[in-house]
């Protein structure tokens, strides 16, 4: 069963072809990073216009890479939310047009659920139940997954998402956009990381990163940062400490079989290593290219939804504030 996945929720225009929810036949990603870098962040209007210009060439490239034509497909999966309304609309309308023209079933996919399904694109075996930490630019959710499409949200961020915190910290340290990779790179040059506060929110599975960001800002404003590398390392360590400790504790308490990591921040090498080192359970993490936004994860998720008879009608609409669970 070959599914075309389409992803346009933020600043990547992506199309992929995935067979049987696992085998990537094509994975095309057109990044808008350079376009937005000059503004220091994503400009929604610029993003949706760029998706409009790029979506058809990206789908054509994906079909060429998969050596397939649209009539070889068995279904379409598209991100319907959460994300930027104008950007989501480009992908959803494109998907509906292809589905209508080729009489294909369509599935609207939750972007966060898609991130989790990047783990099905590796050759690791997944055994339910699992605890999954999804850390992206817009979300930090800790989720119990008991089966396909079966989620219980255990906790989420009360303020900034982990990726958002990385992006803001990078701005404070003058490291530019996107912040996550810049902080990771700078932290790699650190010799003595600075100590920053952690918000544990004990007794809950929730996260909070805005206090940490403010602490970094105060230090910068007071001229107390002598080494950007040491500040970046201290910040990175504080975020990772909380993410890893709370994820492992929740997994232990619930007695799950595995821990899954997902989302753009999951491409951070230090986070990957610390989670593996701290967990008594097997930890599954997709390769970095499948952690950041892509359409292969959307196709994989759509495959399981269509297989479970959860196709959508052509009335499918975007839900910019869609939640998981």
138 binds ligand KG4 (CB under 6 A): yes
Q: What does the per-residue mask of binding to ligand KG4 show for 97-136, with x meaning CB under 6 A? A: ---------------------------------------x
**Which partner in ligand KG4, Zn ion, none is near 184 (CB below 5 to 8 A by kind)?**
ligand KG4
CB 301 within 8 A of CB 79: no
* Residue 239 CA: distances (Å) to CA of 27, 55, 71, 110, 280: 30, 35, 46, 25, 21
Closest C-alpha to 262, from 112, 57, 155? 112
List the one residue from 179, 234, 286, 302 that touches ligand KG4 (CB under 6 A).
179
Q: How many residues bind ligand KG4 (CB under 6 A)?
A: 20
* Alpha carbons 251 and 16: distance in angstroms, whole number: 32
Say if residues 118 and 15 touch (Cβ distance below 8 Å): no
DSSP letter at 199 equals: -
State which residue, 10 or 109, has the beta carbon closest to ligand KG4: 10
Residue 192 has a CB neighbour count (10 Å cut-off) of 10
- Judged by CB under 5 A, does residue 167 bind Zn ion? no
Instruction: Indicate which of Zn ion, ligand KG4, none lies near residue 286 (CB less than 5 to 8 Å, by partner kind).
Output: none
The count of other CB atoms within 10 Å of the CB of residue 64 is: 12
Binding partner of residue 107 among Zn ion, ligand KG4, none, CB cut-off 5 to 8 Å per kind: none
Single out the residue of 11, 12, 184, 293 in contact with Zn ion (rule: CB under 5 A): 293
**155 touches, from Zn ion, ligand KG4, none (C-beta below 5 to 8 Å by class):** none
Residues 118-137 that bind Zn ion (CB under 5 A): 136
């Amino acid at each position: 069963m070959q599914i075309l996945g389409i992803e346009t929720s933020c600043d990547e225009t992506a199309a992929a072809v995935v067979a049987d929810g696992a085998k990537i036949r094509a994975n095309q990603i057109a990044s808008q990073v350079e376009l937005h870098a000059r503004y220091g962040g994503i400009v929604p209007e610029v993003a949706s216009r760029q998706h409009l210009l790029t979506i058809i060439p990206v789908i054509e490239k994906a079909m060429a890479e998969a050596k397939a034509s649209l009539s070889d497909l068995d279904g379409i999966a598209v991100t319907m939310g959460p994300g930027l309304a104008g950007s989501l609309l480009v992908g959803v309308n494109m998907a509906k047009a292809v589905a209508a023209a080729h009489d294909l079933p369509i599935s609207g996919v939750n972007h966060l659920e898609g991130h989790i399904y990047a783990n099905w694109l590796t050759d690791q075996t997944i055994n339910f139940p699992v605890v999954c930490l999804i850390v992206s630019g817009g979300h930090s959710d800790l989720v119990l997954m008991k089966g396909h499409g079966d989620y219980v949200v255990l906790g989420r961020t009360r303020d900034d998402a982990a990726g958002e915190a990385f992006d803001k910290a990078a701005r404070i340290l003058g490291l530019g956009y996107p912040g996550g990779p810049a902080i990771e790179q700078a932290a790699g040059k650190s010799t003595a990381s600075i100590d920053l506060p952690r918000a544990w929110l004990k007794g809950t599975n929730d996260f909070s990163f805005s206090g940490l960001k403010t602490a970094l800002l105060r230090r910068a404003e007071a001229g107390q940062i002598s080494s950007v590398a040491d500040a970046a390392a201290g910040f990175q360590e504080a975020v990772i400490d909380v993410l890893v400790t709370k994820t492992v504790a929740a997994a232990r308490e619930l007695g799950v079989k595995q821990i899954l990591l997902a989302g753009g921040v999951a491409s951070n090498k230090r986070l990957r290593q610390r989670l593996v080192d701290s967990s008594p359970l097997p930890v599954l993490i997709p390769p970095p290219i499948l952690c950041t936004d892509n359409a292969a994860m959307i196709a994989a998720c759509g495959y399981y939804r269509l297989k479970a008879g959860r196709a959508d009608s052509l009335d499918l609409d975007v839900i910019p504030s869609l939640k998981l669970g």
